[in-house]
Structure 1
């Protein structure tokens, strides 16, 4: 009787442990899937678009600089010629500001997807920079070129912060995919 009782107890314990292990594993995979959904939203709706637009904007800015001021230095450290002013306002109105407006819109409408609890100061400064150019562009549309540069400079480190956060989220996404995918493949095999 003792041996049968021990065998039955061992079977019950093994069953309980297997169920507990399955529960813990399912819970772990579920948490990873939820985290992956969140990161996918952050990448797809916020950091991915910001990253792409910021990179394209940097390429456009460099092209403008090569064209207008190839020797380098901060553009507004010099007195611009009338041709340079015209070229600056054309590039700003047609190339740079449309990209900046898109990033501004993403920051303002998708800030719930930010990493962290607060709006990064560089994002706030970028939004203020864009808003200040909106006024200047309105003036330019009325042929008032008395001011061609915002008093709020493009924030140093803005693109780098976006890039660092984007790449960090991509690494987290890949890590989570490696944890979630084996579980998904096992479920698919067992359902066949």
Structure 2
């Protein structure tokens, strides 16, 4: 093969290699952008609002601890006067139940945004707790049935806030890492 053909062949191979590399780099950039966008949506549409609602509910519960007889350990006692029951009913009806239903709606409507696509056990327990609390509250309010109906009531899951916070922190760390990686790669160009 003569030298001109060899040089042309080497040039063609080099051009193809650069084109393949540039194509791979563009696919990788698009993949990273899609991942950044998805993480942003998970944070903004599910985990951020979820944590905000949980903290709001916790604040209202703290009000109930201050307003009602409690054991000082974040547990309400149930030996209440009629006024105590009216206070509890007011807080449940106007705040706690509404917030919990918002949380349940958020989880149900945005479950496609769950981290790793898996519903954590504490989320399932929260949904069960909220469904039962809503049902029991209606029985109590409309039919004055309370004591017999709540024997097997699902408690508020202890790790719910912690699980949401952990997922939010993980997603925010991934998001920040990808943004830093994107910034470093764009500054090299």
> Would you say same fold, with TM above 0.5?
yes
Q: Identify if the C-alpha distance between structure 1 residues 148 and 168 changes in structure 2 by more than 3 Å, giving closer, same or farther.
A: farther
Q: TM-score w.r.t. structure 2 length?
A: 0.82
Higher mean displacement: 122-131 or 134-143: 134-143
Pairwise CA distance, 1:164: 0.6
- Match in the other structure for 2:94: 94
Moved over 6 A (4+): 182-187
Higher mean displacement: 67-76 or 156-165: 67-76
| Contact persistence 1:47–1:165 (CA under 8 A) | yes
1:176 to 175, 178, 184: 178
- Match in the other structure for 1:16: 16
- Match in the other structure for 1:166: 168
CA distance in 1, matches of 2:100, 2:78: 24
Q: TM-score w.r.t. structure 1 length?
A: 0.80
1 or 2 for the larger relative contact order (CA 8 Å, sep ≥6)?
1
Cα distance per residue 1:62-101 (max 9 Å; x no partner): 2322333476135345522333222222111111111100
Report the number of matched residues.
187
